[in-house]
């Protein structure tokens, strides 16, 4: 939709519009140091309160909700940008050259600029809280639905014209939701272990495998199923700590028994450099077979560990 609209605008003469500077500057938002120090202090005080109490088991849910506060705030600002962008499109479609029309257009662009700056600030707070979540819980923070987009913080102080604003908005959105680099598919199921040491050995094997793959593919990003109770959780925490982008393919439950096979097709459709396979179920076995049929290199770790019991995954 954005691309086709930009193409339609390409032939329009927008030189008559005078776009004012954005209604904000860098001092209007908390600085990075203030965000880190304040959230770290709040986090420490909040979770020390739960320690050694009957509520300690609920700390993970509270931690997730803490990060989600900033994620929801950023999402609301993103929706405001979308509404302002729709208004800009409508105004451009009925441009009459009047001062009233130009004023309305400038007002909508200012609203969008302000909302975008606020969205970026809330995303910075969310990412700071997500690091605290990773350190506390040991896994990557993910929203209940949708993506964890992270838009550029390098905003310009002004938009030259409406066409440039809309193009910039589209490019920012694509950059925030599209990983860059070489895709690596990671797959595995849910496993149980007889001892804590066996679980630690398994986790070390996962992380060591990812380290070796990254040595071979420095620009890698990981595509996985996003199972918070399976081996995907280990891969997600590794990616978070190493600043590696993730592309999550959640199951489409509407497809029933076909959901896992559909996800296989989607991930292999990325044409990945490698498929990393840890122990899993029949759906994972099919993924390995199809990857080999497509001549995709499989890093097979399905039998590299012992004394594990496979569960659903």
pLDDT tens by residue, 176-193: 666 778 999 999 998 888
In sequence order, which residues have a C-beta less than 8 Å from that of residue 95 and are 6 or more positions away? 12, 101
| Weakest-pLDDT range from 43-52, 150-159, 177-186 | 150-159
pLDDT at 289 over 90: yes
User: What number is the average pLDDT over the span 78-100?
Assistant: 77
The pLDDT value given to residue 12: 45
| CATH of range 182-310; options 3.10.20.30, 2.60.40.420, 3.30.70.260, 3.40.50.450 | 3.40.50.450
Kindly report the number of other CB atoms within 10 A of residue 194's CB atom: 10
Please provide the average confidence, as pLDDT, over all residues in the chain. 80
- Helices 32-50 & 99-137, crossing angle to 10 degrees? 40
The Cα–Cα gap between 45 and 70 comes to: 18
pLDDT at 30 over 50: yes
The pLDDT value given to residue 135: 86
How many Å is the Cα radius of gyration of the chain?
A: 23
Where are the chain's structural domains? Answer: 2-177, 182-310
Confidence category of residue 22, pLDDT binned at 50, 70, 90? low
pLDDT tens by residue, 108-130: 777 888 888 888 899 999 999 99
User: What number is the average pLDDT over the span 14-31?
Assistant: 61
pLDDT at 156 over 70: no
User: What number is the average pLDDT over the span 298-310?
Assistant: 67
The Cα–Cα gap between 44 and 183 comes to: 36
pLDDT at 206 over 90: yes
Confidence category of residue 214, pLDDT binned at 50, 70, 90? very high
Confidence category of residue 216, pLDDT binned at 50, 70, 90? very high
The pLDDT value given to residue 24: 62
HEC sequence for 272-286: CCEEEECCCCHHHHH
């Amino acid at each position: 939709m954005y691309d086709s609209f930009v193409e339609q605008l390409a032939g329009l003469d927008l030189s008559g519009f005078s776009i004012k500077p954005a209604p904000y500057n860098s001092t209007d938002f908390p600085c990075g140091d203030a965000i880190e120090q304040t959230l770290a202090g709040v986090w420490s005080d909040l979770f020390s309160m739960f320690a050694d109490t009957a509520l300690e088991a609920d700390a993970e849910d509270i931690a997730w909700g803490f990060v989600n506060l900033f994620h929801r705030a950023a999402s609301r600002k993103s929706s405001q940008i979308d509404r302002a962008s729709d208004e800009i499109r409508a105004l451009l479609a009925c441009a009459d050259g009047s001062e009233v029309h130009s004023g309305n257009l400038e007002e909508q662009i200012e609203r969008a600029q302000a909302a975008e700056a606020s969205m970026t600030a809330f995303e910075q707070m969310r990412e700071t809280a997500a690091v605290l979540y990773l350190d506390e819980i040991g896994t990557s923070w993910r929203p209940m639905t949708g993506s964890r987009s992270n838009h550029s913080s390098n905003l310009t102080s002004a938009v030259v014209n409406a066409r440039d604003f809309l193009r910039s908005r589209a490019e920012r959105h694509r950059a925030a939701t599209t990983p860059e680099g070489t895709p690596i598919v990671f797959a595995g199921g849910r496993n149980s272990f007889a001892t804590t040491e066996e679980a630690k050995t398994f986790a070390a094997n996962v992380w060591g495998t990812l380290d070796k793959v990254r040595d071979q593919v420095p620009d890698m990003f990981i595509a996985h199923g996003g199972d918070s109770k399976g081996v995907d959780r280990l891969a997600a925490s590794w990616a978070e700590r190493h600043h590696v982008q993730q592309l999550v393919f959640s199951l489409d439950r509407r497809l029933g028994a076909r959901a896992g096979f559909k996800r296989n097709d989607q991930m292999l459709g990325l044409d990945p450099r490698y498929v990393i396979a840890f122990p899993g179920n029949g759906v994972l076995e099919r993924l390995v077979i199809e990857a080999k049929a497509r001549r995709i290199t499989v890093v097979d770790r399905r039998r590299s560990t012992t004394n594990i019991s496979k569960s659903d995954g």
